[in-house]
Amino acid sequence: MMPVTAAAPESTTDQILLPSAFVEDPAGFLALVASQPTSRHGLAQLSGPVASWFVALSAGSEQVANIYLQAAAVQLRDIGKVGDVEQEMQRTQQHYEVLEAVCIAAAQCVSRRMAVTSSGILATLAHISMSNVNELHHAQVAFLQCALLAEQYRYASRLIEGTWPRPNSTVSVKLVLRYYYLRGMIHLGCNDYVMSHRCFWTCLSVPAEVCSKIMIEAWKKMILVQCLLGEFTAPALPKSVPNCLTRLLSSSKESPLDFSGTKRPRGQPQSSAVQPINCYMDLAEAFYSRDRTKFEAIQAEQTITFNADGNFGLIKQCHSQLLHKQLEHFSKLYSVVPLTKLADLLTISVDQVARTLCQSQVLCEIQDDGMVVFSESTTSSPAPTVDLLEWMHLLERVRNLDVDIVTTAKYHSLLRKESSSGDTTKTVAAGPRGVEDF
């Protein structure tokens, strides 16, 4: 098959050498690859120029993207070891290129989410991801992204439950950030706010010299999730948060900082990569001060920003949670209060107050004469056994212990001893890989 030169999209100035059959009929070319059994040749056809074409394409045909997912679902399956080291390295590179293209193709199917599920790519990526759950690799990120686009939150959550992969020296920082951000979104889709908060917290604990967009988006999500958890009296951040993010968050509206932490000259326009964050800080401040009027004003004023960030639905949940927080506050101030007065205090209708009381965990009784009687125990939920903030501090200590373990000379001597003994029934790798696993 003679390759021809095809111009890449306008977003890149490079030229991509595409197979002539793909240029003439992309859908037909990919359908033929999808119909073939799993082979190294099939994987090679999807990688290289074809994969680069998908990665460089900003917006393409949904049909072509769907067929690419079908072909990748077949050709990414395991075909065993190649044997030759050079060929194995080449296949690893091809896997990486195809997985990158899969993430792009899945995003192009977002208007028809069933296309991602019906392509079979989720099952293939899940099999690859579960083959090694202890080490972070690219297939896990591709699986989470495809599951998120297909809205298969429960399916993905069941597979990753109990796992916490660690990156090795070959994994990029961007891949680590992508994995924990996407995983936080998966848990968020399942309303698992504790695990979602932990993932976003991990994103903000990764060392960095420059704040990336992923880190900023993780901060936005984490601030809102903290409001839903209600375990904090103010927005909390990890102790190991990068200095560039600290400087960005502490900067004022009059002298904002770029993601690099460099102060921009007055009057210079803000970089297009910088997203508004002050509205989130104001929103959190209004939530923790129980100022629903201010919260609603910010919500209405910044609707476009919140919708663009994909956070408007989450903010609506925070608004509902704020109403319950106000109700809990008034239940501590009054033992008996007229329903009409409570409606005035909450600035909602009497019917809304009655519905909120039924949905809340505040123990109360609405009497026939319209009086609301609060019980001495203001909440029906049991007291939390572990404070969430203390739990986050414990995670910090666990990570430090992991570092101490792997940097101890005695630990490495034990590894060498076990490896040289030839006893495969007792190896360090078979046990916990860190304090957190233990």
Kindly report, residue by residue over 344-378, the tens digit of the pLDDT: 888 888 888 788 777 777 788 777 777 888 886 54
* 363 domain residue, yes or no: no
3-state SS, residue 356: helix
* 179 domain residue, yes or no: yes
In the chain, % of residues over pLDDT 70: 76
Helices (H) and strands (E) in the chain, counts: 22, 5
3-state SS, residue 80: coil
Residue 372, token pair as written in the block: 């609301």
Whether 153 and 190 map to the same domain: the answer is: no
- Beta-strand ranges (E) seen in 85-243 are none
Question: 423 in the Ramachandran plot: left (φ > 0), alpha (ψ -120 to 50) or beta?
Answer: beta
Of 132, 155, 171, which one is at a domain's C-terminal end?
171
Whether 92 and 240 map to the same domain: the answer is: no
Whether 8 and 31 map to the same domain: the answer is: yes
Residue 364, token pair as written in the block: 């109360």
Whether 149 and 212 map to the same domain: the answer is: no
Among 126-130, 150-154, 365-369, 421-425, whose mean pLDDT is lowest? 421-425
Whether 105 and 203 map to the same domain: the answer is: no
What is the band of 420 on the pLDDT scale with cuts at 50, 70, 90?
low
* 127 domain residue, yes or no: yes
Whether 29 and 94 map to the same domain: the answer is: yes
Whether 15 and 158 map to the same domain: the answer is: yes
The answer to whether residue 267 scores a pLDDT higher than 90 is no
Terminus-to-terminus CA distance in the chain, angstroms? 54
Whether 34 and 77 map to the same domain: the answer is: yes
Whether 309 and 182 map to the same domain: the answer is: yes
* 426 domain residue, yes or no: yes
Tell me if 126 sits within 8 A of 102, measured CB to CB.
no
Whether 67 and 136 map to the same domain: the answer is: yes
**What is the per-residue pLDDT for 160?**
94
Mean pLDDT of 383-388: 50
Task: Fill in the amino acid letter for 41.
Answer: H
Task: Work out how many domains the chain is built from and give that number.
Answer: 3
* 438 domain residue, yes or no: no
- This prediction has a pTM of 0.76
* 287 domain residue, yes or no: yes
Whether 11 and 155 map to the same domain: the answer is: yes
Alpha carbon distance 219, 24 (integer Å):
45
Whether 142 and 184 map to the same domain: the answer is: no
> Mean pLDDT over all residues of the chain?
80
Residue 278, CB-side half-sphere exposure with 13 Å CA sphere? 8
3-state SS, residue 32: helix
Residue 338 is inside which H or E element, if any?
Answer: strand 336-338
* 362 domain residue, yes or no: no
Of 171, 206, 222, which one is at a domain's C-terminal end?
171
Identify the domain containing residue 232 by its residue range.
Answer: 174-262+275-319
Tell me if 325 sits within 8 A of 290, measured CB to CB.
yes
**Residue showing tokens 């704020």:** 322
* 101 domain residue, yes or no: yes
Of 149, 171, 193, which one is at a domain's C-terminal end?
171
